[in-house]
Amino acid sequence: MSGSTASASKALSDAVIDPDGITRGGGRRPRGNAHRGGTPLVWGIALVVVAATLGPVLYGLLGGFRTNGQLAENPAGLPDPWVLTNYTGVLTNPAFWQYTWNSTVIAVVTTLIVVVFGTMAAYPLARYSFKGREHLFFVFVMGLLFPATVAVIPLFILISKDLGLANTWWGSRCRRRPSPCRSRS
């Protein structure tokens, strides 16, 4: 047996498999609450984050079952009576399904473009050394640091007035064009 094979065999023989099937090297057991699910403080913080995240979604969902009068009278109240016509009106409207289809196509096409071109750009940067590699990487990093909100108004003016692409698929594609290493819209 060579030296590296012997040390690998020794490491495997020292490994301990926990009841959960997790291999731990060196015979050490995990300490603390590694398998117990956390402390009450962690659970409390997690519940606050979940409530802050899901609260507005539930409020909006319940608001859909109320009339405008009910919303104006008691914004935080539960629907009384529950009104289903808001959702049935939206789901039976052909325009809603056209908007949903447009959004889905734009999201899928944008994702595919960003993944393909991002992969093609990342591979040589990660695998090869060439002159100007660090400068090119710096350009990509600067693209990530540029806030998209700064460019929204000038980009809108350029697309709608100068190019005449307002309310078109091509205008939507230009607005969502990926900047270096960015997949945000």
Same domain, 77 and 121: no
Same domain, 123 and 167: yes
Same domain, 136 and 118: yes
- Answer whether residue 7 is part of any domain: no
Same domain, 114 and 169: yes
Number of domains composing the chain: 2
Same domain, 103 and 168: yes
pLDDT digits (tens, 9 = 90+) for 82-133: 999 999 999 999 999 999 999 999 899 989 998 999 899 899 989 999 999 9
Please tell me the pTM assigned to this model: 0.54
Same domain, 121 and 171: yes
Same domain, 99 and 159: yes
- Answer whether residue 112 is part of any domain: yes
Same domain, 119 and 85: no
Same domain, 119 and 152: yes
**Around 94, how many Cα atoms within 13 Å sit in the side-chain half-sphere?**
0
Same domain, 110 and 153: yes
Please name which of 99, 97, 69 lies closest in space to residue 81, comparing C-alpha atoms: 69
Q: Mention every residue, 6+ apart, whose C-beta is less than 8 A from residue 110.
A: 173, 176, 178, 183, 185
Asked if pLDDT for residue 33 goes beyond 60, the answer is: no
CA–CA separation, 26 and 29 (whole Å): 9
Same domain, 105 and 81: no
Query: Residue 54's domain spans which residues?
Result: 40-91
- Answer whether residue 8 is part of any domain: no
More confident residue, 9 or 135: 135
Same domain, 67 and 118: no
Q: Mention every residue, 6+ apart, whose C-beta is less than 8 A from residue 173.
A: 106, 109, 110
Please report, rounded to a whole number, the percentage of residues in the chain having pLDDT higher than 70: 73
Q: Mention every residue, 6+ apart, whose C-beta is less than 8 A from residue 37.
A: 43
Which of 32, 62, 91 lies at the terminal end of a domain, its last residue? 91
- Looking at residue 37, the DSSP 8-state letter turns out to be T
Q: Which residue has the tokens 């023989």?
A: 13
- Answer whether residue 138 is part of any domain: yes
pLDDT digits (tens, 9 = 90+) for 41-71: 999 999 999 999 999 999 999 999 999 999 9
Q: Please list the residues that pair with 101 across neighbouring strands.
A: none
